[in-house]
Amino acid sequence: MKALLSQAAGGPETLVLADRPVPAAGPGELLVKILVCAINYPDVLIIEDKYQFKPERPFAPGSEICAEVAAVGEDVEGWAPGDRLIAVTGHGGLSEYMLLPAAKAFALPHGRDPMEGAALLMTYATTIHALVDRGALAAGETLLVLGAAGGVGLAAVEIGKAMGARVVAAVSSEEKAQAARDAGADDVLIYGRAPFDKAQSKALAQAFKDKVGPNGAHVIYDPVGGDYCDPALRAIAWEGRYLVVGFPAGIPHLPLNLTLLKSCDVRGVFWGGFAARYPDRNRAHVAQLFRWWEEGSIRPRIDRSWPLERAGEAIAWLADRKAVGKVVVDLCQGA
């Protein structure tokens, strides 16, 4: 089988397409033929040894897949060859076949597009956990979403609307603003590119305040970090909840005096840890996502796709913050 391997720490240009043996499914495992692999920000970090998990090399990046069962290991029930599934894998998705613990797999709803399926779990499951469990978002509240045209950002816009919130989307271009509007955002703010000086930071804080309204944002969803954090936090509501999701713009230095003045909470969102500790609650969230997907309340937006041999370009595209929605690697050739 073909696999795109990280053999040494480095950027996407260091990945090498190589032949690997097809593994055999052991007890509790599925051997799956990968149809589509979605690219996420951890894929940018893991090949540079900057992620919290460091697989033994050589390894294939690719943390989210839609696949077809090729073989079923011992002690596995409920799966048969030909069944289609989606899963978050951690790594290994940029290969034609991989082994997957059966417990991590979710059946792809009948008739659903494998590309959309591959792009669903990591962004939408992270977001439903963030807004329901960590943010306690209530109908009628105001949700401010930073980086609202990325994969998790668009998921937050859609899920926020499905939960009955007023959603303000913050993005960096008019193209991204239109994507946020198409996803259902009630209002949109276009901000500049960091870094910001003191005057620019103050101006952005005021722009956030103007958009969210005089009572502030009850929940702020921040998958961006960096210089955007301080201005956004200044627009939070009394007893608001600031959700820390990711740091592609850098890890911010949080002014804790603002949390005192607003009596607000800063809450971390680590979906992987949640899913490992509370698998039943996570499966209930995924079931809700499937219902919303069926109803049309959510739908993963695919920005671009690449073939396996050019998957490094997909990682670079995401790293450069060019994506509007999700980027994927297509291994199914129309399957």
pLDDT in tens, the chain (335 residues): 999 999 999 999 999 999 999 999 999 999 999 999 999 989 999 999 988 888 999 999 999 999 999 999 999 999 999 999 999 998 999 999 999 999 999 999 999 999 999 999 999 999 999 999 999 999 999 999 999 998 999 999 999 999 999 999 999 999 999 999 999 999 999 998 889 999 999 999 999 999 999 999 999 999 999 999 999 999 999 999 999 999 888 899 888 999 999 999 999 999 999 999 999 999 999 999 999 999 999 999 999 999 999 999 999 999 888 888 899 999 975 44
122-272 folds as Rossmann fold (3.40.50)
Residues listed for the chain: 335
Stretch (H or E) spanning 199: helix 198-212
Calpha distance 124→74 (Å, rounded):
31
What are the tens digits of pLDDT across the range 308-332? Answer: 999 999 999 998 888 888 999 999 7
* Contact status, residue 43 vs residue 26, Cβ threshold 8 Å: no
Cis bond leading into 101, ω under 30°? Answer: no
The architecture (CATH level 2) of 2-120+300-330 comes to Alpha-Beta Complex (3.90)
The reported pLDDT for the residue numbered 267 is 97
Domain residue ranges of the chain, discontinuous segments joined by + = 2-120+300-330, 122-272
Find, among 164, 188, 186, 159, the residue nearest to 174 by Cα.
188
Q: Is the dihedral of CA 144, 147, 149, 155 positive or negative?
A: negative
Q: What angle do CA 285, 289, 290 make, to 5 degrees?
A: 120
The reported pLDDT for the residue numbered 334 is 42
Place of tokens 């005089």: 214
Instruction: Return the structure tokens found at 88.
Output: 């978050």
Find, among 191, 209, 153, 206, the residue nearest to 41 by Cα.
153
Task: Please classify residue 190 by burial: count the beta carbons closer than 10 Å to its beta carbon, then call 0-12 exposed, 13-18 middle and 19+ buried.
Answer: middle
The reported pLDDT for the residue numbered 201 is 95
The reported pLDDT for the residue numbered 332 is 78
The reported pLDDT for the residue numbered 333 is 57
What are the tens digits of pLDDT across the range 69-104? Answer: 999 999 999 999 999 999 999 899 999 999 999 999
Find, among 152, 108, 114, the residue nearest to 130 by Cα.
152
Q: b/e string for 253-282 if b means 16 or more Cβ within 10 A?
A: eeeeeebeebebbbbebbbbebbeeeeeeb
Helices (H), the chain: 41-46, 114-118, 126-128, 151-162, 174-182, 198-212, 229-233, 256-262, 271-277, 279-295, 311-319
Calpha distance 71→88 (Å, rounded):
19
Stretch (H or E) spanning 312: helix 311-319
State the pTM of this model: 0.91
